[in-house]
């Protein structure tokens, strides 16, 4: 049931509305049912970008501008329901970033949290965060926490392409954006490669760890380890009717989400899996890493393969089918919604 529909407009009421607009006032009764909707009413639309097509366009940008000149050579994935707004969903930004062999994307820092999901490359490109270099392999999930210097480089002979996910629209909503360049290409490196994963990613924590940062101290969740874990877990065949085998990337400090505003997930759908329908209030960006299948999102069906990028809007019904064993990476604003008490899900009848 909707709240009261807008009452009838009369000449008197229209005149009143126009008069009070000069005082920067407006009658709630004309907009109430649009403001406070019975369920999410999103401008975000279901969509899919085919990796092969956006990759060609991104490589063209590689001939048009350098990473240095662009600062970040990125094609923004714009949701077709919100053109020009740099949003992939209502609350999140996504882009595809290209760093060519020998290039550097110079160091800067900003309030926005970023995740990288590596789409392509031979493992010889890196991003540096907090004085530590992390090498980027296909399927790795890598974090840039808020306000940390970060620069990217590619010492390999092959292009590296990754998906960026940032909480740009959330920061816009709160008007909390700060950003600055370092003024040097690269930040000083004072830790060996793999340092954070050794210190925080081996089911060990420093005995007096009391860091209050909200982001996981692990910068990189390598795909090799994630994939192996999924494979070992599948032995039990406990497939959730909606999700198959779905896991959440965790902060080793407390088991919470790896990032404060963006939740990241990975799921395995076995060959032949056909999910029960599902919806939740956190719009999601999904990247199939392996396998082929199709997803019905709202009223549309998308046939996907590796590295395609899909958008599921808030509260849109979603149904997946896997023709082969499939691994899906996804991210959404779920941690923010949970903290604010907004999140809801609907498992259909499952
Ligand atoms: O790599 O630092 O897609 O600052 C957008 C803003 C990437 C980055 C984006 C950024 C970056």
Q: What is the CATH number of the domain that holds 155?
A: 2.60.120.10
Q: What is the mean pLDDT of residues 12-27?
A: 98
Look up the domain containing 109 and give its range: 47-346
Could you count the other beta carbons within 10 Å of the beta carbon of residue 235?
7
Percent of the chain with pLDDT over 70: 99
Question: 42-59, pLDDT tens digit by residue?
Answer: 999 999 999 999 999 999
0.95 exceeded by pTM? yes
CA–centroid distance, residue 325 to ligand 1 (Å): 32
Indicate which atom in ligand 1 lies nearest the CA of residue 116: 1
Q: What is the pLDDT of residue 177?
A: 98
- 147 in ligand 1 pocket by Cβ < 6 Å? no
Residue 4 has pLDDT above 80, yes or no: no
Distance (Å, rounded) from C-alpha 99 to C-alpha 242? 37
CA 239 – CA 269 distance, rounded (Å): 8
Residue 133 belongs to a domain: yes
Domain membership of residue 264 (yes or no) is: yes
What does the pLDDT read at residue 6?
83
Structure tokens at 339: 């903290």
Which ligand 1 atom minimizes the distance to the CA of 127?
A: 1
C-beta 97 within 6 A of ligand 1:
yes
The answer, yes or no, to whether any atom of ligand 1 lies below 6 A from the CB of 95, is yes
Q: Which helix (H) or strand (E) holds 133?
A: strand 132-135
Establish if 338 belongs to a structural domain: yes
* Residue 236 tokens, joined: 């039990």
H/E run at residue 250:
none
Which tens digit of pLDDT belongs to each residue from 253-285?
Answer: 999 999 999 999 999 999 999 999 999 999 999
Q: Is there a domain that residue 36 lies in?
A: no
- Cα dist from 202 to 146, 182, 278, whole Å: 24, 32, 34
Q: Are 285 and 330 in contact (CB under 8 A)?
A: yes
Q: Kindly give the number of the ligand 1 atom that is closest to the alpha carbon of 179.
A: 4
From the CB of 132, is ligand 1 less than 6 Å away? Answer: no
pLDDT of 350 higher than 90: no
Q: Is 73 in the pocket of ligand 1 (CB under 6 A)?
A: no
Q: How confident is the model at residue 180 (pLDDT cuts 50, 70, 90)?
A: very high
What strand order describes the sheet that includes 220-221? Answer: 74-76, 93-99, 160-166, 114-120, 141-144, 220-221
Structural domain contains residue 23: no
Residue 53, pLDDT score: 98
Q: Whole-angstrom Cα distance, residue 313 to residue 296? A: 12
Q: CA-based Rg of the chain, rounded to a whole angstrom?
A: 22
**Atom 8 in ligand 1: residue holding the nearest Cα:** 72
Residue 61 CA: distances (Å) to CA of 67, 96, 98, 116, 142: 10, 11, 9, 19, 24
- Residue 278 located in a structural domain: yes
What pLDDT score does 1 carry? Answer: 65
4 found inside a domain: no
Nearest-atom number in ligand 1 for the CA of 105 is 1
Q: What's the CA gap between 186 and 146, in Å, rounded?
A: 18
C-alpha of residue 230 to centroid of ligand 1, in Å: 30
Domain assignment of residue 51, yes or no: yes
| Pairwise CA distance, residues 219 & 143, whole Å | 5
Read off the pLDDT of residues 304-341 as tens digits, 9 standing for 90 and up.
999 999 999 999 999 999 999 999 999 999 999 999 99
Average pLDDT of every residue of the chain: 97
Q: In ligand 1, which atom is closest to the CA atom of 110?
A: 4
Tokens in use for 215?
Answer: 């982001």
Neighbours of 236 (CB within 10 A): 8
Task: Tell how far the Cα of 77 is from the centroid of ligand 1, in angstroms.
Answer: 13
Distances (CA, A) of 280 to 12, 136, 314, 325: 43, 31, 6, 24
Number of independent structural domains in the chain: 1
Which pLDDT value is given to residue 5?
Answer: 78
pLDDT digit string, tens, across residues 130-163:
999 999 999 999 999 999 999 999 999 999 999 9
Tell me how far CA of residue 349 lies from CA of 242, 278, 317, 336, in angstroms. Answer: 10, 9, 12, 27
Distance CA 326, CA 244 (A): 10
Per DSSP, 28 falls in state: G
User: Is 90 exceeded by the pLDDT of residue 3?
Assistant: no
Distance CA 80, CA 22 (A): 35
Residue 143, SS3? strand
pLDDT band at 128, cuts 50/70/90?
A: very high
> By the 8 A CB rule, do 109 and 147 touch?
yes
């Amino acid at each position: 049931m909707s709240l009261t529909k807008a009452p009838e407009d009369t000449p008197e009421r229209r005149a009143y509305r126009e008069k009070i607009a000069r005082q920067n006032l407006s009658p709630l009764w004309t907009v109430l049912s649009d403001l406070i909707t019975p369920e999410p009413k999103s401008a975000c639309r279901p969509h899919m970008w085919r990796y092969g097509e956006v990759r060609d366009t991104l490589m063209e940008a590689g001939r048009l501008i350098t990473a240095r000149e662009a600062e970040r050579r990125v094609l923004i994935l714009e949701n077709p329901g919100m053109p020009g707004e740099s949003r992939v969903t209502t609350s999140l930004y996504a882009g595809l970033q290209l760093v060519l062999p020998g290039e550097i994307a110079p160091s800067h820092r900003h309030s926005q949290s970023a995740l990288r999901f590596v789409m392509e490359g031979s493992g010889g490109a890196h991003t540096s965060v907090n004085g530590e270099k992390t090498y980027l392999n296909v399927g790795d999930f890598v974090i840039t926490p808020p306000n940390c210097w970060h620069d990217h480089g590619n010492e390999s002979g092959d292009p590296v392409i990754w998906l960026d996910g940032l909480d740009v629209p959330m920061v816009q909503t709160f008007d909390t954006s700060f950003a600055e360049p370092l003024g040097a290409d690269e930040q000083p490196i004072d830790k060996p490669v793999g340092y954070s994963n050794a210190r925080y990613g081996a089911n060990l924590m420093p005995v007096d760890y009391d860091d209050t940062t909200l982001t996981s101290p692990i910068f990189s969740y390598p795909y090799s380890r994630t994939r192996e874990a999924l494979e070992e877990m599948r032995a039990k065949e406990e497939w959730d009717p909606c999700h198959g085998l779905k896991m959440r990337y965790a902060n080793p400090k407390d088991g919470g989400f790896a990032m404060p505003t963006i939740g990241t997930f990975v799921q395995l759908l076995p060959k032949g899996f056909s999910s029960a329908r599902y919806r939740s209030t956190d719009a999601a960006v999904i990247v199939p890493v392996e396998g082929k299948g199709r997803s019905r999102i709202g009223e549309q069906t998308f046939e996907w393969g590796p590295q395609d990028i899909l958008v599921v809007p808030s509260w849109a019904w979603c149904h997946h089918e896997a023709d082969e064993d499939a691994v899906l990476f996804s991210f959404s604003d779920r941690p923010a919604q949970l903290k604010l008490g907004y999140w809801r899900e609907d498992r259909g009848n499952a």
